[in-house]
Amino acid sequence: QVQLVESGGGLVQAGGSLRLSCAASERTFNNYPMAWFRQAPGKEREFVAGISWTGSSTYYADSVKGRFTISRDNAKTMAYLQMNNLKPEDTAVYYCASRPGLVRRIPGDYNYWGQGTHVTVSS
């Protein structure tokens, strides 16, 4: 079973940058797409970005398009989310997730989840 561990969250001022990392426990991950979701207090978990298992296709929520970049390094079984020009509304717990098949935007479609990493953006 794939286990995912996120890191890289923290406190940053608006306009700043953070890079989140997601480490997968096994190479099975290399055949699965990967996604980042986030959940703000009192809100539902929402799709942020996704990447195909080859890395050739990426998908973004409209709210982060042009500011966030998802990538992966299958040799290291790692995935990343580079977040630039952060805004206070980006404050949330960020989760990486994976599943067999294709990238989906619905949290319930994902089998494997990390524990989450907190991102706080101050104004």
In the chain, % helix, strand, coil (3-state, to 5) comes to 10, 45, 45
pLDDT in tens, 75-88: 999 999 999 999 99
| 17 touches 86 (CB < 8 A) | yes
The pLDDT, as a whole number, for residue 28 is 75
| 2 touches 31 (CB < 8 A) | no
Q: Give percent of the chain with pLDDT exceeding 90.
A: 93
pLDDT in tens, 107-118: 999 999 999 999
The maximal CA–CA distance of the chain, rounded, in angstroms, is 40
Question: Which residues partner with 36 through β-bridges?
Answer: 49, 96
| Residue 97 pLDDT greater than 90, yes or no | yes
| Residue 22 CB-density burial (10 A; 0-12 exposed, 13-18 middle, 19+ buried) | buried
| 33 touches 22 (CB < 8 A) | no
| Residue 32 CB-density burial (10 A; 0-12 exposed, 13-18 middle, 19+ buried) | buried
